[in-house]
Structure 1
């Protein structure tokens, strides 16, 4: 049930939730590989991860690059996809469609491409863990793009769990988590969001990346779980 000696590849694994997943997997004894778009992010992550971790520069929206990456990588046991740009929080009338497409390219089509080219290298008993969000279940004004993405990722998870069986495919759905994904909000507005969210959540606080990473580790270890979406949101979907 553990991850000791298994190879875990985290695309988007140099910051936020992805880095927390890489750290958690390494603590479980896994051999960790992280990939991100920027070399400086990869270098910084490797300085903080245990010796032996691997890091690569990868643009998840470049299909040829993704194909080449997995072709050179060799065998793996678990593929985790957490890559994503800053959250899009704009009303429909103000939405820049080009930016919305880029958002979906990274989060949806990047994940699709990673599974397409990575799944053949996953060893028996391995898994894929994707990332969605609670906006699909609890949308708010200004979240139409994010909500659309989340709905698509949940459906993709279930479809791939059937198509790729017995390879297990699951997803994690975080709520409000204190990560770089909120960096486009002005600091005062961002801190106000954290404060108001904490006050409304049953757990009384917003999430930290390490909170969410535990769900990814569970889904990698849980050999009887597939086609599932695990919500980690402090009870947000209840209120």
Structure 2
């Protein structure tokens, strides 16, 4: 069971977990299409992806742009959504509501738009794989917006799995992973986060994008999984 001959669209596929998914799918023989808001990010991704990969510039929070994107790419087999900038980590009192809305526009409403306009082009046997996070179950101080997002993504996945059946819809829930998600933290704080996570986790290390990408690949291949939340956190939910 592999992805040979299939077409995989990864929105947010030019960096971090999304790029790792695109590279993994391409290694299995899939044709990949990656999309991101920043042209330079798309160009960088295409330099490391195999020949034949496609890259598109897309603002996932722009409904007209999302509609046009899916109208232009034709049929495909799997939609993966990993788009989103750095985490919004602020206390409730300090949170800028406009910034919180922008955060949700890309991560929640962007995913919703992608499914709304992209599901109709997915071929029989295909799937959608969305992205959430463990903050929905293990919130930390300052994570109210991120935790709310995670809970919403899990509920959205289950609802879509019922509504869009037999199209399969699943979601991956990563723990602490070395990605651009943490780029707004000062470097020393970021490295301390990775170090402390490694010490506390049963696996003894922080996650890498390729670790998490395996879950997306499994869910694309696994024809008997739908409405599932797959946690990839190095055992973080246990400690």
**TM class, shorter-length:** over 0.9
* SS of structure 1 residue aligned to 2:140: coil
Equivalence for 2:39: 39
Q: 1:99-155 CA distances to partner (integer Å, 9 max, x unpaired)?
A: 100000000000000000000000000000000000001101110000000000000
Partners in 1 of 2:193 and 2:38 — Cα distance? 28
Aligned partners of 2:85 and 2:180 also within 8 Å: no
The 2-side partners of 1:111 and 1:14 are apart by 16
- Residue 215 of structure 1: aligned partner: 215
Q: Who is 2:140 aligned against?
A: 140
Residue 171 (structure 2) aligns with? 171
Distance (whole Å) between structure 1 residues aligned to residue 130 and residue 214 of structure 2? 14
TM-score of the superposition, structure 1-length normalised?
1.00
d(CA) in 2 for partners of 1:3, 1:180: 27
In 2, the alpha carbon distance for the partners of 1:178 and 1:38 equals 20
Give the 3-state SS of the residue equivalent to 1:92 in structure 2.
Answer: coil
SS at match of 2:95: coil
Question: Is the Cα contact below 8 Å between 2:91 and 2:142 reproduced in 1?
Answer: yes
Distance 2:178 2:144 in 1: 21
Shift of 1:213: 0.2
Q: What is the CA-CA distance between 1:38 and the residue it aligns to? A: 0.8
TM-score normalised over the length of structure 2: 1.00
Unaligned runs of 5+ in 1: none
Q: Tell me, what secondary structure is at the counterpart of 2:46?
A: helix
**Separation in 2, partners of 1:46, 1:190:** 28
Give the secondary structure class of the aligned counterpart of 2:94. Answer: coil
Alignment of 1:1-239 (within 5 A): 1-239=1-239
Q: Partners in 2 of 1:52 and 1:196 — Cα distance?
A: 40
What secondary structure sits across from 2:77 in the alignment? strand
In the TM superposition, what is the alpha-carbon distance from 1:198 to its structure 2 partner?
0.6
Partners of 1:196 and 1:87 in 2: how far apart? 18
| Aligned residue pairs, count | 239
> Offset of 1:83 from its aligned partner?
0.1
User: 1:85: Cα distance to partner?
Assistant: 1.3
CA–CA separation in structure 1 for the residues paired with 2:163 and 2:2: 26
- State how far apart, in whole Å, the 2-side matches of 1:214 and 1:132 are: 15
- Per the TM alignment, residue 47 of structure 1 is displaced from its structure 2 partner at its CA by 0.6
In structure 2, runs of 5+ residues without a counterpart are: none
Matches of 2:172 and 2:102, distance apart in 1: 22
Tell me, in whole angstroms, the C-alpha distance in 1 between the residues paired with 2:100 and 2:29: 38
Q: Provide the aligned C-alpha RMSD in A.
A: 0.4
CA distance in 2, matches of 1:50, 1:133: 29
Give how far 1:2 is off: 1.3
